[in-house]
Amino acid sequence: MGFNLKNKTAGKMIPDPSLKRLCRIYAILDEYDKMGEKAISSRELGEKTGTAPHTIRKDISYLHRDTRAGSGYNVPVLKEEIGSRFRFHIERRACIVGIGKLGKVLMDYDRLPYNNMKIVAGFDSSINRIETLRTDIPVYPANEIPLIIKKEKIEMAIIAVPGPRAVETAENLIRAGIKGIINFSSTVLNPDMKSGVNIVNIDIIGDLRYLAALMTASDDALTPVSSSAF
Amino acid sequence: MGFNLKNKTAGKMIPDPSLKRLCRIYAILDEYDKMGEKAISSRELGEKTGTAPHTIRKDISYLHRDTRAGSGYNVPVLKEEIGSRFRFHIERRACIVGIGKLGKVLMDYDRLPYNNMKIVAGFDSSINRIETLRTDIPVYPANEIPLIIKKEKIEMAIIAVPGPRAVETAENLIRAGIKGIINFSSTVLNPDMKSGVNIVNIDIIGDLRYLAALMTASDDALTPVSSSAF
DNA sequence: GATCACTTGTGAAATAATTCACATAAAAAG
DNA sequence: CTTTTTATGTGAATTATTTCACAAGTGATC
Protein backbone atom coordinates (compact mmCIF):
# COMPACT_ATOMS: atom_id res chain seq x y z
CA MET A 1 0.00 0.00 0.00
CA GLY A 2 1.02 3.57 -0.38
CA PHE A 3 0.30 7.15 0.18
CA ASN A 4 -2.85 7.30 -1.83
CA LEU A 5 -4.02 10.74 -2.65
CA LYS A 6 -7.75 10.82 -3.14
CA ASN A 7 -8.37 14.46 -3.87
CA LYS A 8 -7.45 15.85 -7.22
CA THR A 9 -4.89 18.40 -6.04
CA ALA A 10 -1.85 16.31 -6.90
CA GLY A 11 -2.70 13.05 -8.49
CA LYS A 12 -0.15 10.31 -7.88
CA MET A 13 0.72 7.86 -5.20
CA ILE A 14 3.95 7.38 -3.30
CA PRO A 15 4.89 3.77 -2.46
CA ASP A 16 5.49 3.12 1.19
CA PRO A 17 9.20 2.26 0.89
CA SER A 18 9.75 5.49 -1.04
CA LEU A 19 7.93 7.50 1.61
CA LYS A 20 10.20 6.07 4.30
CA ARG A 21 13.26 6.87 2.26
CA LEU A 22 12.04 10.41 1.63
CA CYS A 23 11.92 10.90 5.40
CA ARG A 24 15.56 9.84 5.61
CA ILE A 25 16.48 12.02 2.67
CA TYR A 26 14.90 14.95 4.48
CA ALA A 27 17.14 14.37 7.51
CA ILE A 28 20.24 14.38 5.32
CA LEU A 29 19.14 17.54 3.54
CA ASP A 30 18.64 19.16 6.93
CA GLU A 31 22.13 18.14 7.97
CA TYR A 32 23.67 19.44 4.75
CA ASP A 33 21.68 22.62 5.02
CA LYS A 34 23.03 23.29 8.50
CA MET A 35 26.56 22.67 7.25
CA GLY A 36 25.94 25.30 4.57
CA GLU A 37 26.11 22.85 1.66
CA LYS A 38 24.16 24.16 -1.29
CA ALA A 39 23.91 21.08 -3.49
CA ILE A 40 23.79 17.29 -3.20
CA SER A 41 23.64 14.56 -5.84
CA SER A 42 21.55 11.42 -5.94
CA ARG A 43 24.82 9.52 -5.61
CA GLU A 44 25.68 11.24 -2.34
CA LEU A 45 22.16 10.79 -0.99
CA GLY A 46 22.40 7.16 -1.95
CA GLU A 47 25.64 6.70 -0.05
CA LYS A 48 24.23 8.40 3.03
CA THR A 49 21.04 6.33 3.06
CA GLY A 50 22.40 3.03 1.85
CA THR A 51 20.27 3.07 -1.29
CA ALA A 52 21.08 3.00 -5.00
CA PRO A 53 21.09 6.41 -6.72
CA HIS A 54 18.41 5.18 -9.17
CA THR A 55 16.11 4.55 -6.28
CA ILE A 56 16.76 7.95 -4.75
CA ARG A 57 15.94 9.65 -8.01
CA LYS A 58 12.79 7.60 -8.43
CA ASP A 59 11.72 8.47 -4.89
CA ILE A 60 12.25 12.17 -5.47
CA SER A 61 10.49 11.96 -8.82
CA TYR A 62 7.25 11.08 -7.00
CA LEU A 63 7.23 14.67 -5.73
CA HIS A 64 6.82 15.93 -9.31
CA ARG A 65 8.95 18.93 -8.76
CA ASP A 66 10.03 21.05 -11.68
CA THR A 67 13.77 21.17 -11.74
CA ARG A 68 16.43 21.53 -14.29
CA ALA A 69 18.33 18.28 -14.51
CA GLY A 70 22.07 18.37 -14.88
CA SER A 71 23.49 19.59 -11.63
CA GLY A 72 22.65 18.06 -8.27
CA TYR A 73 19.69 18.87 -6.07
CA ASN A 74 19.47 22.28 -4.45
CA VAL A 75 19.60 21.44 -0.76
CA PRO A 76 17.36 24.12 0.79
CA VAL A 77 14.87 23.95 -2.08
CA LEU A 78 14.45 20.18 -1.99
CA LYS A 79 14.30 20.21 1.80
CA GLU A 80 11.55 22.78 1.70
CA GLU A 81 9.67 20.83 -0.96
CA ILE A 82 9.70 17.60 1.03
CA GLY A 83 8.98 19.49 4.26
CA SER A 84 5.95 21.28 2.94
CA ARG A 85 4.64 18.22 1.11
CA PHE A 86 4.60 16.22 4.35
CA ARG A 87 4.07 19.19 6.67
CA PHE A 88 7.25 18.63 8.63
CA HIS A 89 7.17 22.29 9.63
CA ILE A 90 3.88 22.20 11.53
CA GLU A 91 4.17 21.48 15.21
CA ARG A 92 2.57 18.25 16.37
CA ARG A 93 1.45 18.16 19.97
CA ALA A 94 2.27 14.79 21.51
CA CYS A 95 2.12 12.82 24.72
CA ILE A 96 4.02 9.89 26.15
CA VAL A 97 2.13 7.06 27.83
CA GLY A 98 4.18 4.97 30.23
CA ILE A 99 6.87 6.92 32.06
CA GLY A 100 9.25 4.04 32.73
CA LYS A 101 12.92 4.14 31.82
CA LEU A 102 12.34 4.46 28.10
CA GLY A 103 9.47 6.92 28.51
CA LYS A 104 11.64 9.16 30.63
CA VAL A 105 14.43 9.14 28.05
CA LEU A 106 11.99 10.08 25.32
CA MET A 107 10.55 12.84 27.48
CA ASP A 108 13.89 14.67 27.59
CA TYR A 109 14.90 13.73 24.08
CA ASP A 110 15.86 17.06 22.55
CA ARG A 111 15.57 15.78 19.01
CA LEU A 112 11.80 15.51 19.37
CA PRO A 113 11.21 19.27 19.70
CA TYR A 114 13.86 19.81 17.05
CA ASN A 115 11.65 17.75 14.75
CA ASN A 116 8.51 19.68 15.62
CA MET A 117 7.12 17.23 18.10
CA LYS A 118 6.15 19.04 21.24
CA ILE A 119 5.64 16.71 24.18
CA VAL A 120 3.00 18.44 26.27
CA ALA A 121 1.97 15.64 28.64
CA GLY A 122 3.00 12.32 30.11
CA PHE A 123 0.71 9.62 31.48
CA ASP A 124 1.39 6.78 33.85
CA SER A 125 -0.85 4.30 35.62
CA SER A 126 1.18 4.30 38.81
CA ILE A 127 0.29 7.16 41.13
CA ASN A 128 3.38 6.46 43.22
CA ARG A 129 5.62 6.91 40.26
CA ILE A 130 3.98 10.15 39.21
CA GLU A 131 4.52 11.65 42.65
CA THR A 132 8.24 10.98 42.63
CA LEU A 133 8.82 12.20 39.09
CA ARG A 134 10.59 15.50 38.56
CA THR A 135 10.01 16.57 35.01
CA ASP A 136 9.43 19.83 33.17
CA ILE A 137 6.43 18.32 31.47
CA PRO A 138 3.32 17.54 33.54
CA VAL A 139 2.58 13.87 34.16
CA TYR A 140 -0.99 12.74 34.75
CA PRO A 141 -2.61 9.49 35.90
CA ALA A 142 -3.70 7.28 33.00
CA ASN A 143 -7.40 7.76 33.69
CA GLU A 144 -7.10 11.42 32.72
CA ILE A 145 -6.05 10.52 29.15
CA PRO A 146 -9.39 11.46 27.54
CA LEU A 147 -9.61 14.76 29.40
CA ILE A 148 -6.06 15.96 28.81
CA ILE A 149 -5.89 14.82 25.17
CA LYS A 150 -8.84 17.03 24.42
CA LYS A 151 -7.83 19.93 26.62
CA GLU A 152 -4.29 20.03 25.29
CA LYS A 153 -5.28 19.28 21.68
CA ILE A 154 -2.83 16.38 21.51
CA GLU A 155 -2.75 14.58 18.16
CA MET A 156 0.14 12.10 18.55
CA ALA A 157 1.00 9.58 21.25
CA ILE A 158 4.12 7.64 22.07
CA ILE A 159 3.30 4.34 23.74
CA ALA A 160 6.03 3.11 26.09
CA VAL A 161 3.99 0.84 28.36
CA PRO A 162 4.71 -2.87 28.96
CA GLY A 163 3.56 -5.15 26.13
CA PRO A 164 0.44 -6.50 27.82
CA ARG A 165 -0.93 -2.99 28.40
CA ALA A 166 -0.37 -1.76 24.86
CA VAL A 167 -3.68 -2.75 23.28
CA GLU A 168 -5.89 -1.20 25.95
CA THR A 169 -3.69 1.89 25.98
CA ALA A 170 -4.03 2.29 22.23
CA GLU A 171 -7.81 1.79 22.34
CA ASN A 172 -8.05 4.38 25.07
CA LEU A 173 -5.98 6.88 23.08
CA ILE A 174 -7.93 6.29 19.89
CA ARG A 175 -11.24 6.77 21.70
CA ALA A 176 -9.84 10.04 23.04
CA GLY A 177 -9.28 11.21 19.47
CA ILE A 178 -5.55 10.70 18.89
CA LYS A 179 -4.54 10.66 15.21
CA GLY A 180 -1.13 8.97 15.25
CA ILE A 181 0.63 6.46 17.48
CA ILE A 182 4.19 5.38 17.73
CA ASN A 183 4.42 2.16 19.67
CA PHE A 184 7.58 1.09 21.48
CA SER A 185 5.95 -1.76 23.36
CA SER A 186 6.67 -5.38 22.52
CA THR A 187 3.10 -5.93 21.32
CA VAL A 188 2.49 -5.13 17.68
CA LEU A 189 -0.49 -2.84 17.22
CA ASN A 190 -2.24 -3.21 13.94
CA PRO A 191 -4.12 -0.22 12.77
CA ASP A 192 -7.82 -0.65 12.81
CA MET A 193 -8.86 0.14 9.28
CA LYS A 194 -12.00 1.91 10.35
CA SER A 195 -10.34 4.23 12.87
CA GLY A 196 -8.14 6.06 10.39
CA VAL A 197 -5.42 6.29 13.02
CA ASN A 198 -1.87 5.86 11.77
CA ILE A 199 0.33 3.53 13.76
CA VAL A 200 4.05 2.91 13.53
CA ASN A 201 5.45 0.02 15.53
CA ILE A 202 9.04 0.09 16.70
CA ASP A 203 10.00 -3.39 17.77
CA ILE A 204 13.46 -3.22 19.25
CA ILE A 205 13.60 -6.83 20.38
CA GLY A 206 12.29 -7.94 17.01
CA ASP A 207 15.04 -5.98 15.31
CA LEU A 208 17.65 -7.52 17.59
CA ARG A 209 16.38 -10.95 16.78
CA TYR A 210 16.40 -10.08 13.11
CA LEU A 211 20.06 -9.17 13.44
CA ALA A 212 20.71 -12.46 15.21
CA ALA A 213 19.00 -14.29 12.35
CA LEU A 214 21.13 -12.47 9.78
CA MET A 215 24.23 -13.34 11.78
CA THR A 216 23.24 -16.97 11.80
CA ALA A 217 23.30 -16.85 8.04
CA SER A 218 26.87 -15.52 8.21
CA ASP A 219 27.85 -18.13 10.80
CA ASP A 220 26.99 -20.79 8.28
CA ALA A 221 28.84 -19.14 5.41
CA LEU A 222 25.54 -18.28 3.89
CA THR A 223 25.42 -15.06 1.93
CA PRO A 224 25.11 -12.14 4.28
CA VAL A 225 22.78 -9.52 3.16
CA SER A 226 22.38 -5.77 3.28
CA SER A 227 19.52 -4.86 5.50
CA SER A 228 17.91 -2.13 7.41
CA ALA A 229 15.20 -2.20 9.97
CA PHE A 230 13.72 1.02 8.83
CA MET B 1 17.84 -9.46 -1.12
CA GLY B 2 17.31 -12.39 1.15
CA PHE B 3 18.73 -15.07 3.31
CA ASN B 4 20.59 -16.92 0.65
CA LEU B 5 21.71 -20.35 1.63
CA LYS B 6 24.75 -21.31 -0.35
CA ASN B 7 25.46 -24.74 1.02
CA LYS B 8 23.34 -27.63 -0.10
CA THR B 9 21.91 -28.58 3.30
CA ALA B 10 18.59 -26.86 2.78
CA GLY B 11 18.33 -25.27 -0.58
CA LYS B 12 15.99 -22.28 -0.60
CA MET B 13 16.07 -18.65 0.20
CA ILE B 14 13.98 -16.67 2.63
CA PRO B 15 12.97 -13.17 1.49
CA ASP B 16 13.91 -10.41 3.84
CA PRO B 17 10.37 -9.34 4.76
CA SER B 18 9.53 -12.96 5.56
CA LEU B 19 12.59 -13.25 7.78
CA LYS B 20 11.53 -10.18 9.74
CA ARG B 21 8.04 -11.56 10.15
CA LEU B 22 9.39 -14.92 11.27
CA CYS B 23 11.20 -13.08 14.07
CA ARG B 24 7.90 -11.57 15.16
CA ILE B 25 6.13 -14.89 14.86
CA TYR B 26 8.75 -16.37 17.15
CA ALA B 27 7.98 -13.76 19.82
CA ILE B 28 4.29 -14.60 19.68
CA LEU B 29 4.97 -18.31 19.87
CA ASP B 30 7.12 -17.68 22.92
CA GLU B 31 4.31 -15.71 24.54
CA TYR B 32 1.74 -18.40 23.76
CA ASP B 33 4.11 -21.08 24.99
CA LYS B 34 4.52 -19.33 28.32
CA MET B 35 0.74 -19.04 28.63
CA GLY B 36 0.52 -22.78 28.10
CA GLU B 37 -1.25 -22.55 24.73
CA LYS B 38 -0.59 -25.64 22.66
CA ALA B 39 -1.79 -24.55 19.23
CA ILE B 40 -2.14 -21.43 17.12
CA SER B 41 -3.54 -20.85 13.65
CA SER B 42 -2.21 -18.73 10.82
CA ARG B 43 -5.25 -16.52 11.32
CA GLU B 44 -4.34 -15.83 14.95
CA LEU B 45 -0.69 -15.22 14.08
CA GLY B 46 -1.87 -12.86 11.38
CA GLU B 47 -3.99 -10.88 13.79
CA LYS B 48 -1.16 -10.64 16.29
CA THR B 49 1.38 -9.48 13.72
CA GLY B 50 -0.84 -7.37 11.52
CA THR B 51 -0.32 -9.58 8.49
CA ALA B 52 -2.63 -11.60 6.27
CA PRO B 53 -2.87 -15.31 7.12
CA HIS B 54 -1.72 -16.20 3.58
CA THR B 55 1.47 -14.34 4.18
CA ILE B 56 2.05 -16.02 7.53
CA ARG B 57 1.63 -19.45 5.94
CA LYS B 58 3.96 -18.54 3.09
CA ASP B 59 6.56 -17.29 5.57
CA ILE B 60 6.38 -20.49 7.60
CA SER B 61 6.48 -22.57 4.44
CA TYR B 62 10.00 -21.30 3.76
CA LEU B 63 11.11 -23.38 6.75
CA HIS B 64 10.12 -26.56 4.89
CA ARG B 65 8.89 -28.28 7.96
CA ASP B 66 7.00 -31.50 7.68
CA THR B 67 3.64 -31.09 9.28
CA ARG B 68 0.22 -32.46 8.81
CA ALA B 69 -2.09 -29.72 7.63
CA GLY B 70 -5.54 -29.45 9.09
CA SER B 71 -5.14 -28.32 12.64
CA GLY B 72 -3.19 -25.23 13.64
CA TYR B 73 0.51 -24.99 14.35
CA ASN B 74 1.91 -26.75 17.38
CA VAL B 75 3.26 -23.88 19.45
CA PRO B 76 6.32 -25.42 21.14
CA VAL B 77 7.28 -27.37 18.02
CA LEU B 78 7.14 -24.40 15.66
CA LYS B 79 8.91 -22.21 18.19
CA GLU B 80 11.71 -24.72 18.46
CA GLU B 81 11.93 -25.05 14.69
CA ILE B 82 12.28 -21.30 14.14
CA GLY B 83 14.60 -20.97 17.14
CA SER B 84 16.99 -23.66 16.01
CA ARG B 85 16.91 -22.52 12.39
CA PHE B 86 18.03 -19.03 13.36
CA ARG B 87 19.97 -20.08 16.49
CA PHE B 88 17.91 -17.98 18.86
CA HIS B 89 18.97 -20.28 21.68
CA ILE B 90 22.70 -19.58 21.48
CA GLU B 91 23.96 -16.77 23.67
CA ARG B 92 25.38 -13.78 21.83
CA ARG B 93 27.94 -11.75 23.74
CA ALA B 94 27.34 -8.05 23.13
CA CYS B 95 28.57 -4.60 24.09
CA ILE B 96 27.05 -1.15 24.13
CA VAL B 97 29.03 1.77 22.78
CA GLY B 98 27.92 5.17 24.06
CA ILE B 99 26.63 5.14 27.61
CA GLY B 100 24.37 8.16 27.40
CA LYS B 101 20.72 8.10 28.43
CA LEU B 102 19.67 5.55 25.84
CA GLY B 103 22.79 3.43 26.33
CA LYS B 104 22.13 3.25 30.04
CA VAL B 105 18.51 2.16 29.49
CA LEU B 106 19.65 -0.58 27.13
CA MET B 107 22.28 -1.69 29.61
CA ASP B 108 19.67 -2.59 32.23
CA TYR B 109 17.08 -3.75 29.72
CA ASP B 110 16.08 -7.15 31.08
CA ARG B 111 14.60 -8.27 27.79
CA LEU B 112 18.06 -8.42 26.24
CA PRO B 113 19.31 -11.30 28.45
CA TYR B 114 15.88 -12.90 28.11
CA ASN B 115 16.53 -12.97 24.38
CA ASN B 116 19.99 -14.47 24.76
CA MET B 117 21.93 -11.27 24.38
CA LYS B 118 24.45 -10.98 27.14
CA ILE B 119 25.79 -7.46 27.55
CA VAL B 120 29.32 -7.99 28.85
CA ALA B 121 30.82 -4.52 28.35
CA GLY B 122 30.05 -0.87 27.81
CA PHE B 123 32.26 1.71 26.15
CA ASP B 124 32.25 5.46 26.37
CA SER B 125 34.62 8.13 25.14
CA SER B 126 34.21 10.34 28.19
CA ILE B 127 36.44 9.33 31.08
CA ASN B 128 34.49 11.60 33.42
CA ARG B 129 31.27 9.85 32.62
CA ILE B 130 32.80 6.42 33.14
CA GLU B 131 34.04 7.37 36.58
CA THR B 132 30.62 8.47 37.79
CA LEU B 133 28.75 5.47 36.36
CA ARG B 134 27.49 2.84 38.74
CA THR B 135 26.62 -0.21 36.70
CA ASP B 136 26.79 -3.96 37.15
CA ILE B 137 28.49 -4.26 33.80
CA PRO B 138 32.04 -2.89 33.39
CA VAL B 139 32.41 0.25 31.30
CA TYR B 140 35.67 0.93 29.49
CA PRO B 141 37.09 3.93 27.62
CA ALA B 142 36.47 3.77 23.88
CA ASN B 143 40.14 3.24 23.03
CA GLU B 144 39.99 -0.17 24.67
CA ILE B 145 37.39 -1.43 22.19
CA PRO B 146 39.81 -3.65 20.21
CA LEU B 147 41.32 -5.18 23.35
CA ILE B 148 38.07 -5.92 25.19
CA ILE B 149 36.18 -7.16 22.11
CA LYS B 150 38.83 -9.82 21.66
CA LYS B 151 39.32 -10.64 25.32
CA GLU B 152 35.60 -10.95 26.00
CA LYS B 153 34.81 -12.66 22.66
CA ILE B 154 32.12 -10.09 21.88
CA GLU B 155 30.32 -10.65 18.58
CA MET B 156 27.56 -8.03 18.62
CA ALA B 157 27.57 -4.29 19.32
CA ILE B 158 24.85 -1.80 20.06
CA ILE B 159 25.79 1.68 18.90
CA ALA B 160 24.20 4.47 20.94
CA VAL B 161 26.65 7.29 20.24
CA PRO B 162 25.71 10.68 18.75
CA GLY B 163 25.16 10.61 14.98
CA PRO B 164 28.44 12.22 13.97
CA ARG B 165 30.45 9.58 15.87
CA ALA B 166 28.61 6.58 14.44
CA VAL B 167 30.72 5.92 11.35
CA GLU B 168 34.08 5.95 13.12
CA THR B 169 32.59 3.87 15.93
CA ALA B 170 31.34 1.26 13.48
CA GLU B 171 34.66 1.14 11.63
CA ASN B 172 36.46 0.69 14.91
CA LEU B 173 34.15 -2.14 15.94
CA ILE B 174 34.40 -3.87 12.59
CA ARG B 175 38.20 -3.69 12.67
CA ALA B 176 38.03 -5.26 16.11
CA GLY B 177 36.17 -8.22 14.63
CA ILE B 178 32.55 -7.59 15.55
CA LYS B 179 30.03 -9.60 13.49
CA GLY B 180 26.77 -7.70 13.97
CA ILE B 181 25.80 -4.13 14.75
CA ILE B 182 22.56 -2.58 15.82
CA ASN B 183 22.71 1.14 15.32
CA PHE B 184 20.52 3.56 17.27
CA SER B 185 22.34 6.67 16.14
CA SER B 186 20.78 9.14 13.74
CA THR B 187 23.36 8.32 11.06
CA VAL B 188 22.44 5.42 8.81
CA LEU B 189 25.23 2.88 8.57
CA ASN B 190 25.31 0.95 5.34
CA PRO B 191 26.94 -2.39 5.52
CA ASP B 192 30.17 -2.60 3.69
CA MET B 193 29.71 -5.49 1.34
CA LYS B 194 33.25 -6.72 1.75
CA SER B 195 33.19 -6.79 5.55
CA GLY B 196 30.45 -9.40 5.92
CA VAL B 197 29.21 -7.59 9.01
CA ASN B 198 25.45 -7.44 9.45
CA ILE B 199 24.00 -4.08 10.37
CA VAL B 200 20.49 -3.16 11.45
CA ASN B 201 19.68 0.53 11.69
CA ILE B 202 17.00 1.73 14.08
CA ASP B 203 16.07 5.26 13.14
CA ILE B 204 13.65 6.53 15.74
CA ILE B 205 13.48 10.07 14.42
CA GLY B 206 13.01 8.74 10.90
CA ASP B 207 10.13 6.60 12.10
CA LEU B 208 8.56 9.57 13.86
CA ARG B 209 8.82 11.61 10.74
CA TYR B 210 7.34 8.75 8.77
CA LEU B 211 4.36 8.78 11.12
CA ALA B 212 4.04 12.54 10.66
CA ALA B 213 4.06 12.01 6.88
CA LEU B 214 1.33 9.38 7.14
CA MET B 215 -0.70 11.71 9.33
CA THR B 216 -0.36 14.45 6.77
CA ALA B 217 -2.02 12.13 4.32
CA SER B 218 -4.91 11.70 6.77
CA ASP B 219 -5.08 15.44 7.43
CA ASP B 220 -5.86 15.88 3.78
CA ALA B 221 -8.47 13.15 3.70
CA LEU B 222 -6.08 11.00 1.78
CA THR B 223 -6.28 7.29 2.35
CA PRO B 224 -4.46 6.36 5.52
CA VAL B 225 -2.41 3.32 5.28
CA SER B 226 -1.40 0.36 7.39
CA SER B 227 2.23 0.54 8.16
CA SER B 228 4.94 -0.73 10.36
CA ALA B 229 8.44 0.42 10.85
CA PHE B 230 9.70 -3.05 11.42
C1' DG C 1 30.70 28.08 -28.61
C1' DA C 2 31.78 23.36 -28.80
C1' DT C 3 33.07 19.50 -26.24
C1' DC C 4 33.34 16.79 -22.18
C1' DA C 5 31.97 15.03 -17.92
C1' DC C 6 28.74 15.41 -15.14
C1' DT C 7 23.78 15.39 -13.67
C1' DT C 8 18.43 14.39 -13.21
C1' DG C 9 13.80 12.33 -14.57
C1' DT C 10 11.25 8.72 -16.08
C1' DG C 11 8.92 5.20 -19.07
C1' DA C 12 9.91 0.39 -19.65
C1' DA C 13 11.94 -3.98 -18.12
C1' DA C 14 13.20 -6.88 -14.59
C1' DT C 15 12.84 -8.52 -10.13
C1' DA C 16 10.67 -9.30 -5.71
C1' DA C 17 6.84 -9.95 -2.65
C1' DT C 18 2.13 -10.80 -1.80
C1' DT C 19 -2.16 -12.83 -2.59
C1' DC C 20 -4.97 -16.28 -4.61
C1' DA C 21 -6.87 -20.80 -5.27
C1' DC C 22 -7.09 -25.16 -4.44
C1' DA C 23 -5.30 -29.89 -3.24
C1' DT C 24 -4.84 -32.11 0.97
C1' DA C 25 -5.24 -33.26 5.93
C1' DA C 26 -7.29 -33.29 10.49
C1' DA C 27 -10.78 -33.03 13.85
C1' DA C 28 -15.52 -32.46 15.06
C1' DA C 29 -20.30 -33.32 14.39
C1' DG C 30 -24.03 -35.97 12.95
C1' DC D 1 -18.57 -44.06 9.14
C1' DT D 2 -19.62 -39.97 6.58
C1' DT D 3 -20.07 -35.22 6.28
C1' DT D 4 -18.86 -30.70 7.49
C1' DT D 5 -15.83 -27.40 9.01
C1' DT D 6 -11.57 -25.69 9.47
C1' DA D 7 -6.71 -26.04 8.74
C1' DT D 8 -2.10 -25.90 6.22
C1' DG D 9 1.20 -25.72 2.07
C1' DT D 10 2.34 -24.14 -2.14
C1' DG D 11 2.60 -23.43 -7.31
C1' DA D 12 0.65 -19.81 -10.13
C1' DA D 13 -1.16 -15.19 -10.80
C1' DT D 14 -1.02 -10.76 -9.38
C1' DT D 15 0.75 -6.69 -7.65
C1' DA D 16 4.49 -3.82 -5.96
C1' DT D 17 9.10 -2.19 -6.09
C1' DT D 18 13.53 -1.69 -7.93
C1' DT D 19 16.65 -1.30 -11.56
C1' DC D 20 17.84 -0.15 -16.15
C1' DA D 21 18.63 2.74 -20.06
C1' DC D 22 18.66 6.76 -22.09
C1' DA D 23 16.97 11.45 -23.39
C1' DA D 24 17.91 15.88 -21.94
C1' DG D 25 19.94 19.60 -19.05
C1' DT D 26 24.00 21.96 -16.77
C1' DG D 27 28.38 23.86 -16.00
C1' DA D 28 33.32 23.69 -16.68
C1' DT D 29 37.23 23.76 -19.87
C1' DC D 30 39.52 24.66 -23.96
Q: For B93-121, how does the pLDDT look when each residue is reduced to its tens digit (9 = 90+)? A: 999 999 999 999 999 999 999 999 999 99
Write out the residue limits of the CATH 3.40.50.720 domain(s) in chain A: 92-206
Amino acid found at B135? T
Radius of gyration of chain B (CA): 20
Distance in angstroms (rounded) separating the CA atoms of residues A83 and A22: 10
Spell out which residues of chain A touch residue B200, defining contact as CB-CB under 8 Å: 207-208, 210-211, 214, 227-229
B34 is near strand C: CB distance < 7 Å: no
Taking only the tens of pLDDT, chain B with its 230 residues reads: 454 433 333 335 899 999 999 999 999 999 999 999 999 999 999 999 999 999 999 999 999 887 777 789 999 999 999 999 999 999 999 999 999 999 999 999 999 999 999 999 999 998 888 877 778 899 999 999 999 999 999 999 999 999 999 999 999 999 999 999 999 999 999 877 667 899 999 999 999 999 999 999 776 544 434 343 34
Q: How does pLDDT run across A57-102, given as a tens digit for each residue?
A: 999 999 988 777 778 999 999 999 999 999 999 999 999 999 999 9
Sequence letter at residue B188: V
Residues with CB under 7 A from strand D: A 1-2, 15-18, 51-52, 54-55, 57-58, 68-71; B 41-43, 53-54, 57-58, 60-61, 64-65, 67, 69-73
For residues A92 and B212, the answer to whether their CB atoms sit within 8 Å is yes
The whole-angstrom separation of Cα A180 and Cα A220 is 42
Q: Are A225 and B1 an interchain contact pair (Cβ–Cβ within 8 Å)? A: yes
Cross-chain Cβ contact B16/A108 below 8 Å: no
Q: Which of A148, B133, B22 is nearest to A140 (CA)?
A: A148
Fold classification of A92-206 (topology level): Rossmann fold (3.40.50)
Q: What pLDDT, on the 0 to 100 scale, is given for residue B133?
A: 76
B108/A86 touch (CB, cutoff 8 Å), yes or no: no
Q: How confident is the model at residue B194, as a pLDDT?
A: 64
Question: Which CATH fold would you assign to the domain B2-85?
Answer: Arc Repressor Mutant, subunit A (1.10.10)
Please tell me the total number of residues recorded for chain B in this structure. Answer: 230
| Phi/psi of residue A197, nearest 5 degrees | -85, 135
Distance between CA atoms of B186 and A147, rounded to whole angstroms? 35
The pLDDT value given to residue B70: 75
- Per-residue model confidence (pLDDT) at position A193: 60
Low-confidence spans in chain A with pLDDT less than 70: 1-12, 193-194, 219-230
Q: What is the pLDDT of residue A196?
A: 86
Q: Which nucleotide is closest to the Cα of A55 by its C1'?
A: D18
CATH 1.10.10.10 range(s) for chain A read 2-85
* Cross-chain Cβ contact A203/B105 below 8 Å: no
Question: How many inter-chain contacts (A to B, CB under 8 Å) are there?
Answer: 268
